[in-house]
A and B are shown apart, each in its own frame.
Chain A
Amino acid sequence: GAGVSQSPRYKVAKRGQDVALRCDPISGHVSLFWYQQALGQGPEFLTYFQNEAQLDKSGLPSDRFFAERPEGSVSTLKIQRTQQEDSAVYLCANTGPNTGELFFGEGSRLTVL
């Protein structure tokens, strides 16, 4: 994931607050993925963009989760009315030069109290 930048790295929210997590992908990359990694688990797919089009959002766990990529570069994952079960690391990824490869950013660790 060289070049995939995520912010904030750490976020603490009170239950019920809205949060926004940002992903700055590698410049010029068409594809962008969001994954959720709960403690002690593997990453789980949330959603996928190709340029500004959200082609797959089947992994979003509820309608409180919303992602956008309006100009086909920076993406934001928004979680409304956060719940404790939303606590996880949220990983953004770009594809690599070979088909199927995913390269992750450092992630945003969300803790909901």
Chain B
Amino acid sequence: GENVEQHPSTLSVQEGDSAVIKCTYSDSASNYFPWYKQELGKRPQLIIDIRSNVGEKKDQRIAVTLNKTAKHFSLHITETQPEDSAVYFCAAPISSGSARQLTFGSGTQLTVLP
């Protein structure tokens, strides 16, 4: 099974509504959970992250929540705007070989309808 599972794979919302994307992870030792935004043809860009010592973090219209017991974390975007349309990826450090490498979810295509 996947080490980082992300859903939904696609999400459409009306401008001004909220969007929520959820991820689960398998490695209980993971302690860092970033979210990346990737516009078409561009590189993934870090938009927000959270560490395991807090349960929630906010940055303007974006927030991330973490439930370590359940091993899941979520991205919340409020008052969505058309420029929020992009693919969003969650990630978590999962054991790989001799180290713990950042492993990405499969992505959520967010479309904000004007």
**Residues of A in contact, count (CB < 8 Å):** 26
B46 to chain A, nearest CB (A): 6
A28 within 8 A of B: no
A37 / chain B contacts, CB cutoff of 8 Å: 44
Q: Is there contact, CB below 8 Å, between A101 and B42?
A: no
B25 / chain A contacts, CB cutoff of 8 Å: none
B73 within 8 A of A: no
Q: Is there contact, CB below 8 Å, between B101 and A100?
A: no
B37 to chain A, nearest CB (A): 12
Q: A47-65: contact bitstring with B at CB < 8 Å (1 yes, 0 no)?
A: 0100000011111000000
Interface centre among B51, B102, B103, B106 (most CB of A within 10 A): B102
What residue in chain B is nearest A106 (Cβ atoms)?
B43
Q: Is the interface of A mostly helix, strand, loop or mixed?
A: loop
Q: Is the interface of B mostly helix, strand, loop or mixed?
A: strand
A105 within 8 A of B: yes
B contact residues, range: 20 to 34
Q: Is there contact, CB below 8 Å, between B99 and A55?
A: yes
> From residue 43 to 91 of chain A, which have CB atoms closer than 8 A to chain B?
43-45, 48, 55-59, 91
Q: Is there contact, CB below 8 Å, between B93 and A56?
A: no
Q: Is there contact, CB below 8 Å, between B98 and A42?
A: no
What residue in chain B is nearest A46 (Cβ atoms)?
B101
A105-B105 contact, Cβ under 8 Å, with A45-B96, A55-B99, A56-B99: no
Q: Is there contact, CB below 8 Å, between A42 and B49?
A: no
Q: Is there contact, CB below 8 Å, between B104 and A99?
A: no
Q: Is there contact, CB below 8 Å, between A55 and B98?
A: yes
Q: A26-51: contact bitstring with B at CB < 8 Å (1 yes, 0 no)?
A: 00000001000100111111001000
Instruction: Report Cα–Cα, A56/B51, bound state, in Å.
Output: 24
* Interface residues of B, Cβ cutoff 8 Å to A: 6, 32, 34, 42-46, 49, 51, 89, 91, 93, 96-99, 101-107
* Interface residues of A, Cβ cutoff 8 Å to B: 1, 33, 37, 40-45, 48, 55-59, 91, 96, 99-107
